[in-house]
Amino acid sequence: MKLKDIRFLIFLFLFALPAFVFADNTGDKKDFYVEKGYSLNDKAQVSATLIKSPDRLHFYFENGWWNSRTEKQKEEIGSILESLGAEFNSKIYPTLTSTFGKESTPGVDNDSRITVLFYPTKSSVKGYVRNIDEYEKTINPYSNQREMVYINADLITGSFMKEILAHEFMHLITISQKEMRIGVPEEIWLNEAYSEYAVTLLGYNDKEDSYLKNRMETFIERPYDSLVSWSNAQYDYGVVNAFVHYLVDRYGIDVLVDSLKSDDIGIGGVADALSKNGAKESFSQIFTDWTIASYVNDCSLGANYCYKNKNLKDVHIIPFGNYLPFSGESTLYLGQTMSNYSANWQKFSGGKGDLRIKISNPSGADMAVPYIVKSVSGATSIGAIKLNGREGELVVSGMGKDVYSVIVIPSVRNGGVSGSEYFYSITANIVNGDVQPETDNNITLPFSVEKPLSQMNKEELLMVLIKLIIYLLGQGKLHI
C-alpha cells in the first residue's frame, strides 16, 4: 500500500467516521456544568460519580452529597434507583415516546442513555433541563454535551420521584420535537404544560395525595395568575395544570401531540392543533370557557363548563367577595390590572333591588366578561357582558329576593402578547332599591331575637348573623 493511501485511510478514520465515544461506567467521576441560580451553594459546576446505569439511564450523584450518606442510606438509594430505572424502562419511556415522539437519540454524545444528575439544589427546585446540553461544546462551551436532566438530590427518597423524572424527560422530548426540529424553543408555559400532563398520562395522578392535587391547591390559592407569562413560581404551575387538563378533557391528547408537532409555538401551535382536530372554537373562547368551568365545574350546565378528569371533580374557584348594603341605593367601585390570559372572579351579593354592573376597559384590550347568576332557588344561569367599544353593562333584577349572587369573570385575551398589564374597572350599583330608613322594621328574621338589632352590640349582632347563616344552610338557601 502506498504512503498516500495510508494517509488517506488515517484521515478517513479520524474525520469521516462518527466519533467513537467511551461509554460511562459505574464509578466514573465527571464534572458537570449546572445552573448557578438553582444550586444550593450557587455553584456553576459540580463533581459527580456514576452510581448506577440501568437501561437508558446514567444515575450520577454529586460527590459531597453522596459521600455524606451512611452505608445504609446508600443501600436504600441504590434500591430506589433500581426501581426508578425499571419504571422508566417499562413505563415512562415507552408511554411518552410512543405518544409524543422520541428525545434526541443517540444524541450529541452518541450515547442512547440519558444522564440524570442528582445534586443539592435550592428547596424550590425539583428538577430542570438545560437546552444547551443538546449542543456541542464548540457551539456552547458550557454544554455538558449529552441528553441530561438535573434533579434535587434531597428528593430521591420522596414520594414523587417517578413523577419528577417523567416531567423532566418530557422536556427532553419537547426540545427534540420542537427546538431541534424547527429551530425555535417552545414557549415556557406550553413546554411546562406538556411535562405536567405527562404525569397524568402515565396514571401517576390516580391516587389521593397526588402530584396533581398539590398543583391544583396552588391554583385554587391563586387562580388569577397569567397562563402565558412565566416567572417560574409555583402559581404558574397551578394555572398551567388547570388549563392543560381542561384542554385535554375537552379535545383529547391529540391536541397536545399535534401542537408539539406544529411548526408554530405557544398559542399558535395549540391553535394549529385545534384546527387539525376539527375544533370550531378559538383558543380565546376556550380560555374563557375554562374560566367559567373553574368556578361552576358542573357538566349539567354544559359540556364546556366542567373538568371531566375524575381527580378534578371538586375544583371550584373561590371568588373575591363584594357585599352591597341590604337597604337603600348603593354604589361599589373597584379597579384592577390583569396580565394577558389571566382572569379575575368577582362575586356580588347583598343589596335589594336591581343590580347594575358597568365594565370599563380603557386599554381596549381583547377582554371577555362572562357572568353567572345564582338564584335563591339554587338555579344557575350563564351569560356574557358584551363590550361596545370599551364599555359594557349588565342589569340583574331581583337581588335580595330572587337572586342570591352575581359572579363576573373579566379576562384579557390579547393575542400572544405577554408581560403587559391591562387596567379595567367595575362599577356596581343597586338601583330601584328600598330607600326607606334603615330600621329594625325593614329586617325580617326567621327566628325571634331578645332585643331590637339597633340596640345590640357587635358581639350580639355577630351571633345573630351566625344563627342566620346556619338557618339558611339548613334550608338549602345559601349558595356559595
Residue whose C-alpha cell reads 405557544 in the numeric block: 266
Q: Which of 177, 225, 185, 181 is nearest to 343 (CA)?
A: 225
Percent of the chain that is helix, strand, coil (3-state, to 5): 40, 20, 40
Q: pLDDT > 70: what percent of the chain?
A: 87
Question: In one letter, which amino acid is 221?
Answer: E
pLDDT for res 41: 87
Where does the pLDDT of residue 106 fall: very low under 50, low under 70, confident under 90, or very high at 90 and above? very high
Q: pLDDT tens digits, residue range 36-95?
A: 999 998 899 999 999 999 999 999 999 999 999 999 999 999 999 999 999 999 999 999
Where does the pLDDT of residue 431 fall: very low under 50, low under 70, confident under 90, or very high at 90 and above? confident
Q: Are 425 and 354 in contact (CB under 8 A)?
A: no
The CATH H-level (homologous superfamily) assignment of domain 320-438 is Mitogen Ypm (2.60.120.510)
pLDDT for res 349: 92
Phi, psi of 311 (to 5 degrees): -80, -5
pLDDT for res 458: 65
> What does each C-alpha distance from 282 to 120, 191, 252, 274, 288 come to in angstroms?
44, 20, 16, 8, 10
pLDDT at 103 over 90: yes
Whole-structure pTM value: 0.85
Q: Which of 354, 72, 95 is nearest to 201 (CA)?
A: 95
Which of helix, strand or coil describes residue 91? helix
- Angstrom distance (rounded) from CA 174 to CA 178: 6
